[in-house]
A = this chain, B = another copy of it.
Amino acid sequence: MSVTRELARYVVESRAEDIPADVRREARRAVVNIVGCMLGGAPEAGTGIAAGVFAPLSGPGTAGIVGRRERMDIARAALINGITSHYHDFDDTLPKNYIHASPPVAAALLAYASALPVSGADVLHAFILGFEVTSRIGNATYPAHYDAGWHSTGTCGVFGAAAAIGKLAGLSVDEMVGAFGLAATQASGIREMFGSMAKPFHAGHAARNGYESALLAKAGFTSGPRALEGPRGFAHVLAAARDLSKVTDRLGAAYDLRHNTYKPFPCGIVNHPAIDAAIQLHDEHAIDHAAIRAVRLEVAPLVIDLCGKTAISTGLEGKFSVVHGAAVGLVRGRAGLAEYTDDAVADPAVKRVRELAVRESDPAIGEDGVHLVVELADGTRLEKRLEHSLGNLERPLSDAQLSAKFTDQALRVLSTDAAERALAMAWTVDDLPNVADLVAATVPA
C-alpha cells in the first residue's frame, strides 16, 4: 500500500478510544496553548488587515473567529485563526523538525467546529490526528526540506488541516487520499518571509487550504493518488532527501504530541536559551542595565542562521534577533509580548544593550544551549551557561505556566472573568458537547 494511502487509512479508521490517555492529555495542553496564542494574535495589526480584506469577500458568517467579533465563512475564519495562532511565534514547537504543528490544524478545526455542531471529544481526536499527520510528513522530509528554505509549518500543516477536517467530515479512505493530493499541490510557504506578516499567514493559508482540500475531495474533485511518494509528489519535489518510512512508522503507537514543546517567550525558539540565561542573570544579580558595558553570546550556528538579525526596527523583526532577546532579558528581566513591539525594539535602553551585544557561532554548543557573558562598568564579569532552556522537553512548561501564558494573552481582548471562563473550557475541551461554545467564549464582548 502506498504511503499516502496508508496514512489516509490510519486517519479514517482511528477511533478516539485508541488514543492513549497521556496523548489526550498533551493534546489538551496543546489546545490551551494554541487558543491562548490565537487570543494573543487576535488584536494585532496584521490580523486586522487580513480581516479587513477578507470580511467583504466572506460568505455568510457561519463561523466564529477566536478572539475577534467578525464572523466569516469557515474557510476565511480558518485563515484568520491561522494568522493569529502563529502571529507572535508563541505557539508550540516540535524540536525534532521545527514544525509548529498545532496552528494550521487547530485554526481549521476551531473554524469548522464553530459553524457546525461538533463535540469536543471529536475535535480533540481530529486534532491529534492532524497534528500527527503534520509532524510525520515533517519528519520524513527533515532536515532537507526545512534547510532548503521551506517553512514546514505551512507546507506540512496543510496536510494536517486536511486530515483533521477530513476526519470530522467523515471522508472515506479514497476521499482522504484525494484530500492529501489537493493539500500537497497547495503546500507552500518560504522562509524568506520570516520577519514579516507573511510568516503567520503561512499557518493561515495552510488551514484554509487544508479545509478546502477536504471539502473538495469529499465532493469528488480528483487529484493524484500518490501525493507524498509519487516521483513528482510532495516529498520528491520539495525535499532533496527524504525517508518516507517515517510517515507510517509505528502509526497509532508512537505519537509526536509526546514530544511537543510550548514556548515561554513569543519568538523563534532558538532564541530561548539566550533569553532564559539573560533573565536569570538579570534576576540573580539585579543588574542595572545602564552599567552593562559588554555582552557576549555564544550560540549554536543555527541560531545565527535563523535569528541573526541585528539591525532591526520592528517588533516582528525582533523575533528573529537573538541579540534583541538577550537585551530585553538583561534590561527588563522578561520577554513577553510587550518586549516584541515596535516600541520595545526602539526603547533606547534595549537598543543600547542590543547594539553592544556580540554573538559568536560555536558548533560545540547545542541548539538548546547558550553561553552568555556580561561585563559591567565596575569590571564585574557575569556568566551563565545553559544546556537546556525553559520550555524544552527537559524543562517543560507546567500546566500552571500554560494557564498563566493563556491568561496573559487572553487579557489583551477579554475581561478577567471571560478569560478565566475560556481557559476553563479549553482545559476541558473534550468534555464540551459543542466546541462552538469555546470559540464563542473567546469573542470579546
Contacts and interface: CB of A to CB of B under 8 A. Distances in A.
B215 A196 contact: no
Interface stretch (A86-94, A226-234, A415-423): A226-234
A53 B201 contact: no
A151 B233 CA distance: 11
Interface in A184-204: 184-198, 201-202
Interface string A151-190: 1001000000000000000000000000001101111111
A352 to B, nearest CB: 27
Residue picked from A188, A192, A222, most chain B C-beta under 10 Å: A192
Interface stretch (A56-64, A252-260, A366-374, A381-389): A56-64
Report how many copies the assembly holds: 2
Contacts of A154: 185
A185 B188 contact: yes
A223 B237 contact: no
Contacts of A53: 212, 215-216, 219, 221
A192 B226 contact: yes
A426 to B, nearest CB: 27
B223 A49 contact: no
Contacts of A46: 221-222
A224 interface: yes
A437 to B, nearest CB: 23
A190 B216 CA distance: 17
A205 interface: yes
Contact of A185 (B74, B192, B209, B220): B192
Interface in A71-87: 73-76
Contacts of A221: 46, 49-50, 53, 197-198, 201
A140 B419 CA distance: 52
A286 interface: no
A232 B50 CA distance: 24
Contact of A196 (B57, B149, B219, B223): B223
Nearest to A236: B149
A194 B236 contact: no
A195 to B, nearest CB: 7
A52 interface: yes
B205 A224 contact: no
B219 A52 contact: yes
A148 interface: yes
Nearest to A191: B232
A150 interface: yes
B212 A198 contact: no
Interface string A223-249: 110110011111011000000000000
Contacts of A224: 192-196, 198
Contact of A233 (B49, B58, B192): B192
Nearest to A83: B221
Given A45-B220, A57-B59, A57-B75, 13 more contacts: A49-B216, A50-B216, A56-B73, A154-B185, A181-B193, A181-B196, A185-B189, A190-B234, A190-B237, A194-B224, A196-B224, A197-B222, A198-B224
10 contacts: A49-B219, A148-B237, A151-B185, A154-B185, A181-B196, A181-B198, A185-B202, A188-B188, A192-B224, A198-B224
